[in-house]
Structure formats: structure tokens, C-alpha cells
């Protein structure tokens, strides 16, 4: 599979609050000898699908560091643009999507804190998005899920585990559709925590693509140890 016009939006503007006791920026922190975001970039660029990369950033200090690390580890890559992120994830995604307005192809939106994403997973979710217009990488729930009563820690219900999936990234969409979705979310002043939730607001069906490999999100310091162990097995 090849595509000369896919865009990658790599989200790097998060605050990493739960990491700050150990690292001040998990996106630029080293993982197995390379900055976290470089692992993701190499996986996407290695597929041959991506013609343009947009990276969101938190502040000027992080922007400077991202540029230095990019030049050091991927000096051949010159198709990267940087867009200032917002207060929330959805603000950052919308800012990046606005920079892609008019694009007629597919956009891959990926959390920079997921460095283990595999080329195989990227191909799978992209193929489904090409077919349906919207697809997300996801995992089947391994544990029983409980829904709490609003405002309490008491169980309201226990949904059928077979129907429950956990959303991951990348999430891949026709650019016009996901931009329309995020603009609708902003108009309605709604909060979403992933991109597929935004496109659901404009009636777009979203396909679930089961991830064939581990796609850990670095959230706590211990995740770095686990991620390094996983990388050693690849």
C-alpha cells in the first residue's frame, strides 16, 4: 500500500503532569536511546504513507528542543511543520487540523506519548479508513468494565465486556470530516477526549481496528521501564 498525500498530526503539547516528578517532558525524554516522539515518527515515516507531518507543541522552550532533537535524529526529514497547541488535547488537534484545511486525503492523528505503534498497525487502520472514511486503532477490553453512578463510586451497571473497546491512536480520517467534527464540537462547547468522538457529532461511522501489537501510552514513570522492555523484544 502506498499513499503520497497522507498527513500525520503528532500531538506533543500535553502537560505530562503525572510524569513531572521524573521528567519534565515525556515527549522529548529518552526511551531506549531515542526521544519518545522520534520512535513514533520513524514508525509512520517508515510506512511510506506520510507526505506531511504536523507536530503540536506546548511552548517555545519545547519547540526549540523538538527542532534540535528532530535535526539530530532524523536530519533527512524536512516535511515537518510545528503548530502551537492549546489548553486541551482537542484544542491542539483543532489547531493542527486548521493548518491542514483543504487537504483532500487522509490524516493520521497520533498521541506523541505512544512510541510503540507499529507499522503493521498503521497500515491496518489506514486501510480501513481509506475504505470507510474513519477508523481508529483499538483494543478489546480484557477486564470487566463497570459504569459508576453519576457523582459516586458506586456501580450503576456492568456492560457486556464483549462490546467494550479501548480507543488508541492513530485514529485516521478524511481530513475534511474530522475538521468538520472538531468545529462542531467547538460550536456546541462539548469536551471530547479522542478524535473519533468528534466525528461522531457529524454522523460519521467509525470503524474499530483491533491492534495486533502493544501500543502502550506513557502516562506514569513505570511505563518507561515497561516500554523499554517491550522494545527489546522487537
Distance of CA 40 to CAs 35, 47, 83, 165, Å? 9, 11, 18, 23
3-class state of residue 65 by DSSP: helix
Instruction: List phi, psi (to 5°) of 86.
Output: -110, -165
Is there a contact between 115 and 39 (Cβ–Cβ < 8 Å)? yes
Tell me if the bond preceding 62 is cis, omega within 30° of 0: no
Query: Please, what is the average pLDDT of the chain?
Result: 93
Q: Which domains does the chain carry? A: 6-232 (3.90.550.10)
| Range list of β-strands (E), the chain | 6-11, 30-31, 34-35, 50-57, 80-84, 106-111, 134-140, 147-148, 155-157, 165-174, 207-210
Task: Provide the pLDDT for residue 1.
Answer: 43
Residues in the chain: 234
| Greatest C-alpha distance within the chain | 54
For the stretch 6-53, pLDDT in tens is 999 999 998 666 555 556 799 999 999 999 999 999 999 999 999 999
* pTM value surpassing 0.85: yes
Task: Provide the pLDDT for residue 200.
Answer: 96
Question: 115, 126, 119: which is closest to 44 by C-alpha?
Answer: 119
pLDDT over 70 (residue 85): yes
Is there a contact between 135 and 108 (Cβ–Cβ < 8 Å)? no
Average pLDDT over residues 188-208: 96
For the stretch 114-164, pLDDT in tens is 999 999 999 999 999 999 999 999 999 889 999 999 999 999 999 999 899
pLDDT over 50 (residue 226): yes
Amino acid at each position: 500500500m502506498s499513499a503520497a498525500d497522507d498527513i500525520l498530526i503528532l500531538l506533543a503539547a500535553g502537560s505530562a503532569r503525572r510524569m513531572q516528578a521524573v521528567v519534565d517532558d515525556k515527549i522529548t525524554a529518552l526511551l531506549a536511546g531515542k526521544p519518545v516522539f522520534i520512535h513514533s515518527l520513524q514508525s509512520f515515516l517508515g510506512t511510506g504513507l506520510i507526505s506531511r507531518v504536523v507536530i503540536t507543541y506546548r511552548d517555545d522552550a519545547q519547540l526549540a528542543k523538538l527542532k534540535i532533537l528532530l535535526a539530530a535524529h532524523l536530519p533527512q526529514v524536512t516535511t515537518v511543520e510545528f503548530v502551537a497547541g492549546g489548553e486541551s488535547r482537542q484544542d491542539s488537534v483543532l489547531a493542527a487540523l486548521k493548518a491542514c484545511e483543504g487537504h483532500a486525503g487522509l490524516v493520521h492523528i497520533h498521541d506523541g506519548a505512544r512510541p510503540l505503534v507499529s507499522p503493521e498497525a498503521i497500515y491496518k487502520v489506514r486501510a480501513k479508513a481509506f475504505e470507510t472514511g474513519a477508523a481508529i486503532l483499538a483494543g478489546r477490553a480484557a477486564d470487566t468494565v463497570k459504569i459508576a453512578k453519576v457523582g459516586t463510586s458506586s456501580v450503576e451497571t456492568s456492560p457486556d465486556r464483549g462490546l467494550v473497546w479501548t480507543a488508541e491512536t492513530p485514529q485516521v480520517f478524511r481530513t475534511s470530516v474530522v475538521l468538520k467534527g472538531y468545529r462542531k464540537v467547538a460550536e456546541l462547547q462539548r469536551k471530547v477526549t479522542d478524535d473519533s468522538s468528534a466525528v461522531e457529532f457529524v454522523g460519521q461511522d467509525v470503524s474499530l481496528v483491533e491492534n495486533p501489537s502493544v501500543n502502550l501510552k506513557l502516562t506514569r514513570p513505570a511505563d518507561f521501564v515497561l516500554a523499554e522492555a517491550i522494545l527489546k523484544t522487537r
